[in-house]
Chains A and B, each alone.
Chain A
Amino acid sequence: MPHEPITTLPLTVAVLLSVGRHPVTGRARRADQDARGLELALSMAAARIELVHAGPFDDACEVSMRGYLGMSAGHAGSGADSVTLVDQPSQADVVPALCRTLSESLAPQLVIAGERAEQGEGSGMLPYQLSESLGWPLVGGIVAVEGVEEGVATLLQALPRGQRRRLSVRLPVIVMVNATAMAPRQSAFGPARRGTLAVVEQPAVHDAAQDEWRVQPARKRPKRLKIVKATSARERFKAAAAKSDGGGGQIMKDVSPDEAAAAIHKLLKEEDVLR
């Protein structure tokens, strides 16, 4: 007879952290999306939090991990004050090592990840590969975990224009946070300094494919030219002489409030923003 799973155990949430990169100066920092992920985890009451990072343990790593640890002010008992650091060489495929660490030692029911790394390839494949190899479902664009009951998590997913959708998923699950999720709290110096980095060794798998890549700082992409395939002289002339829109809109002066309101109402309906 199958046993009922014991659901009273505190939920273990693993947050995958990466080394961020400031878009202007390129300095190492906590990655924005991962920090949002940690914020999401911290907002879940009574959750045990495991912070995990896989990658080379260098200065940049330390700076950015301490950035996350600085968010643990007031959450000292939750586990947010310690990072499990899976030490991997710089050009390694961290998925197998991460997979093992997650399934063997941390055993989380909920894994929170960002959508893209700020450094390296930044393909955003890691959560998908984890989902595939762990066999856990994956949900993207999450802004909140509304609750976990009887092994089912209720999640809030972001849609464009601030709209939201509710999903329920059976645990264990991997979720990716959306860029519109709650902004991460400030990272404080004290907890950042006190937090611990627990280094874990795992066998490394060299990512050979990267060897044949040529990586360079991003070039500015050429602006798409408006190619005009005109069939007549008039169209060619029009395309050449076309000026951008916005040279003054319609102005209504000396109208009654009602006429003005009618004009605005018409525009709002045309744009379909009235619900």
Chain B
Amino acid sequence: MTIPRRDPRRERIARNRCHPEHDVVLTEQEHDGASAAEWTGPNGLRRRDPRQVGFIGPNGIKRIDRSGAQQSATLGTRATRTTAAAATKRHVEIESPAFMVAVVPDMAGGRLSSHDRDLLGLARQLADADGNSPGAVLAIVMGPHKESQWGDAGVDRLMAFEDSAFDGYSPEARLAALEAVEREMAPRYWLLPDASTGGADLGRRLAARLGERPATGVWSIEPTSGTSTGWQCTARGGAGSLDIQRPLARIVLAVEECAEPVDETRHAARPLALSQPLPRLLGRIDDQGRVPVDPAGIALAEAEFILSAGNGVKDWEGFHHAARVLGATEGASRVVVDDGFMARDRQVGATGTWVTARVYVAVGISGAIQHLQGIQRCDKVVAINKDPDCDMIKRADLSVIGDAGDILSALVARVEQEREEQRDAA
């Protein structure tokens, strides 16, 4: 650490807005890490220039945001803010844990999902129950990941297996890894997300292998004196029709929102490794890779990108071509299906299929209430329509008013051109 040196002259110039060198000094200060609007005053106090901060609000009036959010955003250093926020979190370090709570997050997309974070929150409840002899939360990750915020999610120990054996569909390899952890560490609890993205399957495999009866579909746990573990849980059974209150099992498969994610503390996330390398094993299941799926053949309910046609579509050849080029699954409004332009299984809406697409492009669909009901769960809705007052446009995230045929063909041309360029570049 160096002692900060002060230059009284520069400070004076910085304070004096009329000084000819004022701006120069300010810029220099900015390079030192302070902004033009904020600097350390002569008494060590932080100084602010209210004229340099703030932004023009929607009414043309200058607004100053004193929370600092605006300022750091203008500086473009989001990281500084998060670190600043993180700095307020309590650091927790568990040196010699009394026991381990193993969590196997699904890591969909290589990051902790909200489900994984909920599960880590649940793990913390179990680990921190006894303040005198706290347990440690051990996260086990198989395969590559992009997560960096382990500590904030509540992980004390992190065991990351990097191995090509975990690529693709590899339940056997994953189970073998968990078995190795079990042999070496014997965690008191195993927590996995009861989700189709992997945890549901892996957790059950582990339970069957260890001969444990898991608690599945767990959505809450509470301490109790009635059971040997000191915990009981409430789990969903009978396809969501029953609540089963039972003693907490050693292997817990918990559903989403089973607990609040960790928020106030930051944990060490100390890397951990097994003493022995994982054994090589001969799998009986052979992953032959993804099968190309024709977007037109995907069931509407599953499709993630739907190009949907309504009464406003006149050029059907063009519409089908656009769907092919964009790689979108085709949908349709009821009227279009009734008129025989599209098959009945393509109908979107309350009387057809309820869709969950990430992007739903409604071409010439005015948006009858039944149709809007059917697209409730779509993330982004794009409307292409002639009528700027129709209900679909009220629902849409992006609406373009104009002739559907022209816009679609322009879009197709654009996409094709881009593909062409990529091919040339490659």
Contacts and interface: CB of A to CB of B under 8 A. Distances in A.
A–B: direct contact at CB < 8 Å: yes
A248 interface: yes
Contacts of B293: 162-164
A154 B285 CA distance: 10
B243 A219 contact: yes
B66 A234 contact: yes
A140 B237 CA distance: 20
Candidate in B172, B196, B395 with the most chain A CB atoms within 10 angstroms = B196
Contact of A140 (B201, B287, B327): B201
A105 interface: no
B213 A156 contact: no
Interface residues of B, number: 90
Nearest to B70: A234
Interface stretch (B50-58, B150-158, B256-264): B256-264
Contacts of A123: 204, 214, 216-217, 237
A215 B304 contact: no
A274 B302 contact: no
A168 B285 CA distance: 6
A83 interface: no
Interface in B209-233: 209, 213-214, 216-217, 219
Interface string A99-138: 0000000000000000011111111110011011000011
Nearest to B287: A167
B401 A267 contact: no
Interface stretch (B10-18, B94-102, B138-146, B404-412): B404-412
A247 to B, nearest CB: 10
A128 B358 contact: no
B246 interface: yes
A56 B286 CA distance: 38
Interface of A is mostly: mixed
Contacts of B407: 257, 260-261, 264
A121 B411 contact: no
Contact of B242 (A124, A165, A216): A216
B304 A161 contact: yes
B264 A229 contact: yes
Contact of A141 (B196, B219, B413): B196
Contacts of A117: 238-239
Interface stretch (B36-44, B309-317, B380-388): B380-388
A273 B264 CA distance: 36
A254 B401 contact: yes
A217 B242 contact: yes
A224 B67 contact: no
A251 B401 contact: yes
Contacts of A128: 204-205, 207-208
Interface string A31-70: 0000000000000000000000000000000000000000
A150 interface: no
B27 interface: no
A262 B359 CA distance: 16
Interface stretch (A5-13, A184-192, A194-202, A206-214): A206-214
B241 A249 contact: no
Contacts of A244: none
A180 interface: yes
Interface string A250-264: 111111011011111
Contacts of A224: 257, 260
A23 B239 contact: yes
Interface string A9-30: 0000000000001010010000
A255 B406 CA distance: 12
Nearest to B260: A227
A231 B413 CA distance: 50
Contact of B398 (A119, A246, A250, A258): A250
A273 B169 CA distance: 24
A237 B204 CA distance: 45
B185 to A, nearest CB: 22
Interface string B337-365: 00000000000000000000011010000
B285 A137 contact: yes
B399 A252 contact: yes
Interface string B44-73: 000000000000000000000111110000
A162 B358 CA distance: 13
18 contacts: A23-B240, A121-B216, A125-B214, A132-B209, A139-B285, A141-B201, A157-B169, A165-B168, A170-B284, A180-B302, A216-B245, A229-B263, A232-B66, A249-B396, A257-B410, A261-B414, A264-B400, A268-B326
Interface of A: 21, 23, 26, 116-125, 128-129, 131-132, 137-141, 154, 156-157, 159-170, 180, 209, 212-219, 221, 224, 227, 229, 231-235, 246, 248-255, 257-258, 260-265, 267-268, 271, 273-275
Interface of B: 65-69, 85, 88, 168-169, 171-172, 196-197, 200-201, 204-205, 207-209, 213-214, 216-217, 219, 236-247, 257, 260, 263-264, 284-291, 293, 298-299, 302-305, 326-329, 358-359, 361, 379-382, 384, 388, 393-403, 406-411, 413-415, 418
Given A168-B285, A221-B257, A257-B403, 17 more contacts: A26-B241, A117-B239, A118-B238, A123-B204, A137-B172, A160-B196, A160-B197, A161-B304, A165-B290, A180-B302, A215-B242, A221-B219, A258-B410, A263-B398, A268-B305, A271-B358, A274-B415
Question: What are the 5 tightest A-B residue pairs by CB atom distance, in nearest-first order?
Answer: A162-B298, A261-B410, A260-B400, A249-B397, A128-B208
